[in-house]
Structure 1
Amino acid sequence: MKTVISIQSHVAYGYVGNRAAVFPLQRLGYDAVAVNTVQFSNHTGYGAWTGQVFTPEHIADVLDGIDARGVLPSCVAVLSGYMGDAALGQVVVGAAARVKSASPQAVYCCDPVMGDVGRGFFVRPGIPEFMKAHAVPAADIVTPNQFELEYLTDRTIASMADALDAAAALRATGPKLVLVTSLIRADAPADRIEMLVDTAEGTWVVSTPRLPLDPPPNGAGDAVAALFLAHWLKTADAAQALAQAASAIYAVFQETRRLGTRELALIPAQDELVRPSEVFAAERVR
């Protein structure tokens, strides 16, 4: 069994962080080991929640216990998301290096969770700077949304050319692959939303319809990062992984809209995670 260690937030109710990432990884055949950086009653988008952020010492202790079980040599990837604070980020980056030392073929996939268009930053002070200076350069794969890509590269993205330049600039800081999980640009149809993947071998984009979801469900980026990572680990084909991840999350959005819920409908749409009914092709743009 191939193992992915996922270090992210956890909610008791709803689907964000590890609750949005672990199940897709499992449905796609990976033994997902969840290390939770926080435990909240629900995601913070509701405006009220209970629970606590775990200390860096707590997370390091959990990782030590996992290591003691002999798990690290079987790991094919570490996936990280919401980190809680910068000190915890240091533990996460250290854990990725530790896994790669025990399992040289393993990759570190960093979802640099910091904020979003319209909301701005929603993480604690110090995390954006840590992401830019330490986490992203240490990663093999990064999965920012458009807001996060703009911050990480000190650029404004309004066109495909802007997106291509920003992705290449971010890749130049260390990662081998950049997945932009949401792209809205002036030179594209207003009723579409895109994802873009950039590698040294080429760049591909996939476009899907924009569904009227109000409020939009939280956790989509967490799910997309897990879906893309799982497919990329299977195929080493960035374009194919992009198409599969985009098609799967679109199907989840459709089911979420049908049910009229603000939580991702991952369980009702679980078969779509493996075999999407409608596959949107990835188009090469560079």
Structure 2
Amino acid sequence: MSTDSLVPETRVLAIASHVTYGYVGNTMATFVMQSLGCDVAAINTVNFSNHTGYTHVKGTKSTAQEISALYEGLKLNYLTDFDVLLSGYAPSAAAVEAVGEIALDLRRGSRDKPGSFFWVLDPVMGDQGQIYVNEDVVPAYKKLIPHADLILPNQFEAELLSGIKITSLSTLADAITTLHRTYNVPHIIVTSVHFPTSSSSDSSAISCPTKAESGTINQDSPRQDTLTIIGSTARSDGSPRLFKIEVPRLDCFFCGTGDMFAAMSVARLREAVFVADADAEADAKAGGSTNPASRTTTASTSSSNLEQPAAPPQLRSASSPPSFPLLRNTPSWQSPDFVPANQLPLAQSTVKVLASMHCILEKTMEARSAELARYPSDDDEVTRLQDAVEFAGLSEAERREAREKRAYLRQTKAAEIQLVRNAELLKKPRGVEFVAEEWKV
């Protein structure tokens, strides 16, 4: 593990897409998690030349049999001692089922050690009201959700899974509650949420960077000054503990942000769980506060001390380690009911994830502006001469279309996330502070 990373030693199996150029899917996730100190084994569900936001894409999709065969090879060599499974885009229902079989096999191997295996599932199905996978993928995911520990659907995917149309804060809360109780999924973060514009106090605009697998750059999305990310960890009765985190919105479209969010969540959530355990043990030995609500959590992203509320006095011993299980040794790392929403490990880890993402995307925007500034305008004399040769024989409408295509490709390339050059910001975001707030509907 990197000496300047607090992430505990973590072995991750990442199953997602792969591209030769750029950073989306496993290309993004593998680098991010390795930079934070995780050992990562990757199974690629597609192998493409580039993400599908570009005009042309070449490559192949992995079959369910190919995905299963790669895992079987690991298993035969006893190489499946993974702490976490991160699963993303799967190109077919059969591939989704193959990923599910892998997850269940890993779960069976950890049944005697609660908390030793954690599954982060990104149910990639569609966005903004449109499915971009075959429709039989939806029921395939519905079968898997009850076995996952953390799911990361966007608004449309949350609607597909919950059966609730999300049009307001209250319906968003209803959808999250339904996901908790119907699928018994412990942790949820819903991203890319947009509500219709309304004067009603129950209407708002909540969004988060969209998933890379869609590969589309939607120039028509409504713009807001901030993004509000909503998450929840269920209580023992299945009711949600909702939190929200507001961050500045950057006026640019990127591919790969969803994959970066998921990958960082793996590392930072595991870190937050270990820190919560360390705080609980220290508090128990010292006697601690008798009121768990009296301890506050510093949500500053510049601090790595993610404090958690003290355990109730009946669960503590001043002279010995706590007798209750450590959070990392409990199923799904599900915090006791007394932990407030904004102090949950899921909330605290998401604060750090969003801080790093914000810093890296700001750097990407700077690089994007510099790259686009290098290109001459279409009215430049040299450009006109070059276009006269390149577009010879084309009609004026065809020339205009060719120029628009060229501009689009330049913008798409310039918006590739500048990950490697800014890798240090994955570990230590600078100059950014976000706060997780308890959200009550």
TM-score of the superposed pair, with normalisation by structure 1 = 0.92
2:424 alignment partner, one of 263, 271, 275: 271
In 1, Cα distance between the equivalents of 2:135 and 2:58? 20
Query: What is residue 230 of structure 2 aligned with on the other side?
Result: 196
Is 1:84 matched up with 2:110? no
Q: Which amino acid aligns with 1:19?
A: T
More strand by share: 1
Query: What SS does the corresponding residue of 1:233 show, helix, strand or coil?
Result: helix
Q: Which amino acid aligns with 2:231?
A: V
Query: What is residue 23 of structure 1 aligned with on the other side?
Result: 31
Contact 1:176-1:200 within 8 A present in 2 as well = yes
Within 5 Å, which residues of 2 pair with 1:100-111?
A: 100-104=107-111, 105-111=116-122
Query: What is residue 14 of structure 1 aligned with on the other side?
Result: 22
Deviation at 1:210, TM superposition (A): 1.3
Question: 1:2-39: CA deviations, max 9, x gaps?
Answer: 21100001011111110121111111111011110110
Within 5 Å, which residues of 2 pair with 1:1-286?
A: 1-73=9-81, 75-104=82-111, 105-117=116-128, 120-131=130-141, 133-172=142-181, 173-185=183-195, 186-187=203-204, 190-201=224-235, 202-213=241-252, 216-236=253-273, 237-260=345-368, 261-277=414-430, 278-286=432-440
Aligned residues: 281
Question: 1:92-116: CA deviations, max 9, x gaps?
Answer: 0010111122234201111011122
Runs of 4+ in 1 over 6 A off after TM superposition: none
State the Cα RMSD in Å: 1.7
In 2, Cα distance between the equivalents of 1:155 and 1:88? 26
Unpaired segments of 5 or more residues in structure 2? Answer: 1-8, 196-202, 207-223, 236-240, 274-344, 369-413
Contact 1:3-1:76 within 8 A present in 2 as well = yes
Question: Which stretch shifts more, 188-197 or 60-69?
Answer: 188-197
In 1, Cα distance between the equivalents of 2:102 and 2:42? 13
Contact 1:195-1:246 within 8 A present in 2 as well = no
Contact 1:76-1:103 within 8 A present in 2 as well = no
Query: What SS does the corresponding residue of 2:78 show, helix, strand or coil?
Result: coil
Cα distance change on mapping 1:274 and 1:181 into 2, 3 Å: farther
In 2, Cα distance between the equivalents of 1:170 and 1:137? 9
Contact 1:181-1:224 within 8 A present in 2 as well = no
Question: 1:88-143: CA deviations, max 9, x gaps?
Answer: 1111001011112223420111101112227x222233212322x21222211100
In 1, Cα distance between the equivalents of 2:418 and 2:133? 25
Question: Which stretch shifts more, 56-65 or 271-280?
Answer: 271-280
In 2, Cα distance between the equivalents of 1:208 and 1:141? 22
Identical aligned residues as a percent: 32
Query: What SS does the corresponding residue of 1:7 show, helix, strand or coil?
Result: strand
Query: What SS does the corresponding residue of 1:183 show, helix, strand or coil?
Result: coil
Contact 1:184-1:194 within 8 A present in 2 as well = no
Contact 1:20-1:219 within 8 A present in 2 as well = yes
Deviation at 1:82, TM superposition (A): 0.4
Q: Which amino acid aligns with 1:87?
A: A
Deviation at 1:249, TM superposition (A): 1.6
In 1, Cα distance between the equivalents of 2:358 and 2:192? 12
In 2, Cα distance between the equivalents of 1:123 and 1:269? 33
Question: 1:157-189: CA deviations, max 9, x gaps?
Answer: 233222222112112212110011333444359
Query: What SS does the corresponding residue of 1:224 show, helix, strand or coil?
Result: helix
Unpaired segments of 5 or more residues in structure 1? Answer: none
Query: What SS does the corresponding residue of 1:72 show, helix, strand or coil?
Result: coil
In 2, Cα distance between the equivalents of 1:115 and 1:250? 24
In 2, Cα distance between the equivalents of 1:129 and 1:48? 30
Contact 1:145-1:221 within 8 A present in 2 as well = no
Q: Which amino acid aligns with 1:93?
A: G
TM-score of the superposed pair, with normalisation by structure 2 = 0.61
Contact 1:252-1:265 within 8 A present in 2 as well = yes
